[in-house]
Every structure is written in C-alpha cells, then in structure tokens.
Amino acid sequence: MLVSLLTLLIGVLLHCDARIVPNPDFPAECRVGEPNLYDPSQSMEVPWFTVDLDAPAKERFKHVVRPFKNEIQAVFDVLADFFTIIPGIPVWDMLGDVMLKVFEEGMIMQPYKDEVQ
C-alpha cells in the first residue's frame, strides 16, 4: 500500500511543473533603496460618499462603485490570471457556479441580495 502510494506521488510530482504567469502590470523589480511610496500626508485624502438607504437596493452603491470601475476590473483581471496557474482546473468557472448557486438557493437574504447583485 505504502509503495503504491509513493509510486503514485512520485508520478504526480514528475508531471508537475512550475508555471510563471507574466503580468506586465506588476513586473518583478527591486525597490530596495527607493524612496518610500507611502505618503502619510495624503492618508486622509479618501473619497467620501453619501449612501441613500431609502434608494432601491440595486441603486444604493452605484455612485460609489462607478468611479472605481477600472480598478475593480483590474482586480478581476489579476484574479483571472492567477486562477490560470492551476492547469486543467477551471477555478474561475467554479467560483461563478458557486456564486450562482448562492443567489439561486437564497443563501443571501434580502435586502442584501439586491445590494450584492
């Protein structure tokens, strides 16, 4: 039993290879010795939004999200690139299926469901 398990493990390891997913937005670079990118004087420069809780749930946060549309899309693009690291496993599709099931089976209750969608 142990020998067959070790043989299987060795076989799996021989077929595994490291994948490098190039991402031009985040090139490998050394930042040692460069000035600090964090500027504490700008730490309070955060946009403020007023959310109308009387507005329909699907409309409440649109004005909050729209200014960050490109940044949100960039996050999803990075995640999509990251999920291709695991060859043969459609992680992105699996997550989509899980979220669809969550919404269809009512695992997120109202009014939160409309806010998330």
Q: Evaluate whether 80 touches 94 at the Cβ level (below 8 Å).
A: no
Residue 15 confidence (pLDDT) above 70? no
| pLDDT given for residue 14 in this prediction | 64
Domain ranges of the chain: 53-117
Question: At residue 62, does pLDDT exceed 80?
Answer: yes
Instruction: Provide the whole-model pTM.
Output: 0.51
Q: pLDDT (tens digit, 9 = 90+) per residue, 33-52? A: 777 777 778 777 888 899 99
pLDDT at residue number 47: 85
Percent of the chain clearing pLDDT 70 (strictly above): 79
Q: Is 56 left (phi over 0), alpha (psi -120 to 50) or beta?
A: beta
Please tell me the distance from the alpha carbon of residue 67 to that of residue 108, in angstroms, as a whole number: 26
